[in-house]
A and B are shown apart, each in its own frame.
Chain A
Amino acid sequence: MTAATAKKKGKTWINVRRRWQLYLFLLVPVVWVLIFAYYPMLGVQIAFKNYMPRQGIWGSKWAGFVHFRTFFTSYYFSRTVGNTIRLSLYHLAVNFPLSIIFALMINIIENPWLKKRVQTIVYVPHFISTVVLVGMLTQIMNPVSGLYGTIYRVFNPGAYPTDILSKATPFIHFYVWTGIWQNLGWNTIIYMAALTGVDPELHEAAQIDGATRLKRMIHIDLPTILPTASIVLILNSGSIMNVGFEKAYLMQNNINVVYSEVISTYVYKVGLTGATNQFSYAAAVGLFNNVINGILLLIVNGVSGKLSEGANSLF
């Protein structure tokens, strides 16, 4: 510990002592976090145990890394990890640039009335629950009774189109693009907030200098949201291994399971269904998942910090 930090630390304690009444307020949230956020984390130890419900988390016998080894050698390891990463990267690759472009587009709408209306309309799908979304999807895409089939039959009377949902490969596109449809508007909020912070004088000055709208967008708006964008990217990469369980599970059928079996659905199946609940195994798989996420987050954060010389990184 250097003298400077020691001094700083000492100062903190002096402050605490002087204003202890204020710091007392901190006690409640700190205790709350400890009890509800940190204490439950100890439960992750069941990943290294043979968890038996009656013996409890602390009483179950230690098993070492056996559950991790089982997962790595399992038939489903490469499939679930592969599918998870594929879905995640695809989604990130589409969602990340699109939401920036969309935010910039909304931003250049000059009529405030129109701008507000557009924003509201694109936010709405975000509030539809996943179950309803998947229900809408299967209903619309039904080749016999759905909108898709009805439109098809207007042109080909008596015939039914192919049932796209019972083909394996379209799953991934449906998964990603329904996600985009649902959340694109919502994802622009953070960029819109950054864009409102742009000094109008910058735009005026650029306009006087003869910059077109496109030029102003590239040279003023884009740089403004770049720090936000990199933070969003870092946060997103921290959840690359987390593909939403609900949607994948709800859209899953025996045909597309080759592409739709992701880590979370697999954990659900082995952990909570079936005759012998494998809590420990499911916990081990989940833990593995989160460790990878953590590592990815640190890597992207590091790279981003290097590139921007420390300006655009989380910590």
Chain B
Amino acid sequence: MKKVSILVLALLLVCSLSSTGLAYTDIMTPGGELPIVTGDYHLVIGTPAIATVTDYENNHLTQYLRERSGVDIEVYLFDAQEYRQQLQLMTSAGEKLPDTIWAFNLTAVERESYGRQGYFIPLNDFFADGDLAHFFWDGMKYVPEQKQELTIKTGLSSDGNLYAFPFWLETVADAWSFGLLINNTFLDALDMEIPTTTEELREYLLAVKEKDPNGNGIADEIPLVGHTSWTGDVINILMNSFTYYPNVDSASQLCSDDEGNLYLPYATEEYRDGLRFIHQLYEEGLISDLSFSQDRYGLQAMTDLTGDQPDVVGAAVSHRSFMFASHATAERRTHYTTLGVIEGPDGVAFTPTHAVEPRYTSYITCDAADPEIAFRLLDMCCDPEATFTIRYGREGEYWRWATEEDKAAGAYYSALGYTDVLFTSNDMKLAWGQQTDEIWNTNAFTWQPIGLTALTPGTVYENPISQYNADDWRDGIVARYGKCPKILVGSLAYTEDEINQLGTVQADLNTYVNECATRFVIGEMNLDTDWDTFQSTLEAMGMSNYLATAQAAYDRAFK
């Protein structure tokens, strides 16, 4: 008896010795194979606790990650709002950090400073190893070619290191939601075609103003109106028929020619011509003053009408969803056609857009015993099945692989070349953001590049308004898609010195340009006499210096 127990003890001792003595390489499978580990392995993921997630421990997603990776995952919850401060406190107090932290929205400056101090591990070498980053590189096939390189480059800190694991989240419509919607009942009443040039647009707006297209006998039509909320900037939209000007979601107003030489559009003569045209429209009473003062609900009150109220808006600068309380079922939705681009006198026809960038919110910390395994776990999230499970929930219930029937129905964005149908979540969606223990209610660590999210079939609706709403918007997006310069300038990684030197110049320029553009348009400033003052004030604020610094940062990362 005694012998047996000693034997058992000895055996246990040997086992424990061998398990502690094992290097991760002994239990880690080769890259690209799942599960990631074949033995017991414990790993802590830190993430901000999202209030709508009712349970992280018995969450389907947590279970899924555990089962698929073979890693015994422990979730360490940070505060939903104060997680940045919490992280700062933990590092300055020398506390042990979780192996990896996910969904941490840090600024590029914070990312770099944690990285430089060694709290985050640089991941450049991990990505260089095609084996470790198997699913990441495999997922690249869904990323458009010109963006593949940017996936890593955009996230580089000024020291050349990549401190975060990049994830994509882009849908086709995301960056192309900026433009005009035109009232097709007015077009019919006026017997006009959809305007394609600035001159045709002006003629249409004049006709709306003067010819009473709603037929109620009074001149209550408002030719063109926008709003001050997202996607409502009239000047921004019309300007793109003269020179490319990025939208409000862009990291800055910096633009680039095809060779990567940066410039600021508001310092150009084309910009001045654009303002001249917009000012002319304003002077002729074609742009409503309200565009500069009302929010989206003001526009909605003008367009979301019912009963016999006559339409008044000729053309609106807005996202479709801001024009109606529920755009998929609103009575008047069918009165508006989503436009593509409007060509200017010199043939310029852009859509204001922005560089959609990967999300750099997942980090591997210095306290990760085996960063390779934490990295493999993040890499696993790039696998489509994992991504869909993270985003939608379990397969079969909240999303499914496309059936032959789905494929036969055709892809929603086939007009853009996305003809394959891979998956669908139509009609099975877990409403996003609801209370759940199915997922973590975040997109932060999903690999959803544009080439993946576009692989869904179109939906067939019973309600003709919903069908019109889906088709019309899709056609508008397709018409706008890709109408932008070859290079879009996104976030730039500045060094600490550059940041101190730049100071407030970017915010100052931004505010001042928006203010002056509006004042030029409404005639409070004169495009002939005040233009030089405008330019010299920009110069005095430090425009040249800003441009030079930005160029340096750009060259460092992208050249």
List A residues at the B interface (Cβ < 8 Å).
Answer: 50, 52-56, 63, 70, 74-76, 138-139, 142-145, 157-160, 162-163, 165-166, 168, 253-255, 257-258, 261, 269-270, 273-278, 281
Report the tally of A-B residue pairs with Cβ distances under 8 A: 125
- Say whether B506 contacts A157, CB under 8 Å: no
Chain B residue numbers with a CB within 8 Å of A160 are 220, 222
* In the complex, per-residue mask of B221-233: 1 if CB is within 8 Å of any chain A CB, else 0: 0100000100000
* In the complex, per-residue mask of B509-523: 1 if CB is within 8 Å of any chain A CB, else 0: 011101101110010
B537 to chain A minimum Cβ distance, whole angstroms, is 6
B109 within 8 A of A: yes
Stretch at the interface among B43-51, B137-145, B365-373, B494-502: B494-502
Task: State in angstroms the CA–CA spacing of A275 and B522 once bound together.
Answer: 29
Given the interface pairs A53-B88, A54-B114, A76-B508, the reply to whether A142 lies near B500 with Cβ below 8 Å is: no
B171 within 8 A of A: no
- Say whether A274 contacts B510, CB under 8 Å: yes
Chain A residue numbers with a CB within 8 Å of B506 are 274-276
- Say whether B503 contacts A254, CB under 8 Å: no
A276 to chain B minimum Cβ distance, whole angstroms, is 5
A114 to chain B minimum Cβ distance, whole angstroms, is 39
A304 to chain B minimum Cβ distance, whole angstroms, is 38
A300 to chain B minimum Cβ distance, whole angstroms, is 32
Q: Other than the known A166-B290, A253-B518, A255-B518, what 19 A-B pairs have Cβ atoms closer than 8 Å? A: A52-B109, A54-B113, A54-B117, A74-B508, A75-B537, A142-B294, A142-B298, A144-B288, A144-B312, A160-B222, A163-B293, A163-B294, A254-B517, A257-B515, A261-B511, A270-B508, A274-B510, A276-B109, A278-B503
Chain B residue numbers with a CB within 8 Å of A56 are 88, 92
Task: State in angstroms the CA–CA spacing of A158 and B220 once bound together.
Answer: 5
Task: State in angstroms the CA–CA spacing of A253 and B291 once bound together.
Answer: 10
Chain A residue numbers with a CB within 8 Å of B291 are 166
Residue of B107, B110, B298, B302 with most partner-chain A CB within 10 A: B298
Chain B residue numbers with a CB within 8 Å of A139 are 297-298
- Out of A157, A165, A254, name the residue touching B218 (CB < 8 Å): A157
Chain B residue numbers with a CB within 8 Å of A261 are 511
Task: State in angstroms the CA–CA spacing of A159 and B441 once bound together.
Answer: 49
- Say whether A275 contacts B491, CB under 8 Å: yes
Q: In the complex, which residues 281-327 of chain B have their Cβ closer than 8 Å to any Cβ of chain A?
A: 288-295, 297-298, 301-302, 312
Given the interface pairs A145-B298, A276-B494, A281-B503, the reply to whether A257 lies near B511 with Cβ below 8 Å is: yes
Task: State in angstroms the CA–CA spacing of A277 and B504 once bound together.
Answer: 8
Chain A residue numbers with a CB within 8 Å of B88 are 53-54, 56
A260 to chain B minimum Cβ distance, whole angstroms, is 10
B15 within 8 A of A: no
Task: State in angstroms the CA–CA spacing of A162 and B540 once bound together.
Answer: 35
- Say whether A158 contacts B519, CB under 8 Å: no
* In the complex, per-residue mask of B108-122: 1 if CB is within 8 Å of any chain A CB, else 0: 111001100100000
Chain B residue numbers with a CB within 8 Å of A76 are 508
- Say whether B292 contacts A253, CB under 8 Å: yes
- Say whether B289 contacts A75, CB under 8 Å: no
B541 within 8 A of A: yes
- Say whether A269 contacts B511, CB under 8 Å: yes
A242 to chain B minimum Cβ distance, whole angstroms, is 21
- Out of A75, A138, A168, name the residue touching B512 (CB < 8 Å): A75
Task: State in angstroms the CA–CA spacing of A80 and B301 once bound together.
Answer: 34
Given the interface pairs A142-B301, A144-B301, A168-B524, the reply to whether A273 lies near B113 with Cβ below 8 Å is: no
Chain B residue numbers with a CB within 8 Å of A277 are 107, 109
B507 within 8 A of A: yes
- Say whether B113 contacts A70, CB under 8 Å: no
- Say whether B312 contacts A138, CB under 8 Å: no
- Say whether A255 contacts B519, CB under 8 Å: yes
Task: State in angstroms the CA–CA spacing of A56 and B506 once bound together.
Answer: 24
Chain A residue numbers with a CB within 8 Å of B548 are none
B313 to chain A minimum Cβ distance, whole angstroms, is 9
Task: State in angstroms the CA–CA spacing of A75 and B496 once bound together.
Answer: 24
Chain B: CB-nearest residue to A285 = B504
Chain A residue numbers with a CB within 8 Å of B109 are 52-53, 276-277
Given the interface pairs A165-B293, A168-B524, the reply to whether A75 lies near B251 with Cβ below 8 Å is: no
- Say whether B504 contacts A270, CB under 8 Å: yes
- Out of B290, B492, B496, B519, name the residue touching A143 (CB < 8 Å): B290
A27 to chain B minimum Cβ distance, whole angstroms, is 27
Query: Sorted from nearest, which 9 A-B pairs have the closest CB atoms?
Result: A158-B218, A54-B113, A145-B301, A166-B293, A254-B518, A163-B289, A274-B507, A165-B293, A166-B289
Chain A: CB-nearest residue to B512 = A75
- Say whether A52 contacts B113, CB under 8 Å: yes
* In the complex, per-residue mask of B182-222: 1 if CB is within 8 Å of any chain A CB, else 0: 00000000000000000000000000000000000011101
- Say whether A50 contacts B500, CB under 8 Å: yes
- Say whether B491 contacts A166, CB under 8 Å: no
Chain B residue numbers with a CB within 8 Å of A269 are 507, 511
B92 to chain A minimum Cβ distance, whole angstroms, is 6
Residue of B251, B290, B312, B537 with most partner-chain A CB within 10 A: B290
- Say whether A255 contacts B293, CB under 8 Å: yes
- Say whether A138 contacts B218, CB under 8 Å: no
- Say whether B518 contacts A276, CB under 8 Å: no
Task: State in angstroms the CA–CA spacing of A146 and B266 once bound together.
Answer: 35
- Say whether A166 contacts B218, CB under 8 Å: no
Chain B residue numbers with a CB within 8 Å of A162 are 289
B104 to chain A minimum Cβ distance, whole angstroms, is 13
- Say whether B292 contacts A254, CB under 8 Å: yes
- Say whether B302 contacts A144, CB under 8 Å: yes
- Say whether A75 contacts B540, CB under 8 Å: yes
- Out of B218, B515, B540, name the residue touching A258 (CB < 8 Å): B515
Chain B residue numbers with a CB within 8 Å of A138 are 293-295, 298
B286 to chain A minimum Cβ distance, whole angstroms, is 14
Mind listing 23 A-B residue pairs with CB under 8 Å? A52-B113, A53-B109, A54-B110, A54-B114, A56-B92, A74-B504, A75-B512, A76-B508, A138-B298, A144-B222, A159-B219, A160-B222, A165-B293, A166-B291, A166-B292, A168-B524, A253-B292, A253-B518, A254-B517, A261-B511, A269-B507, A273-B507, A275-B252
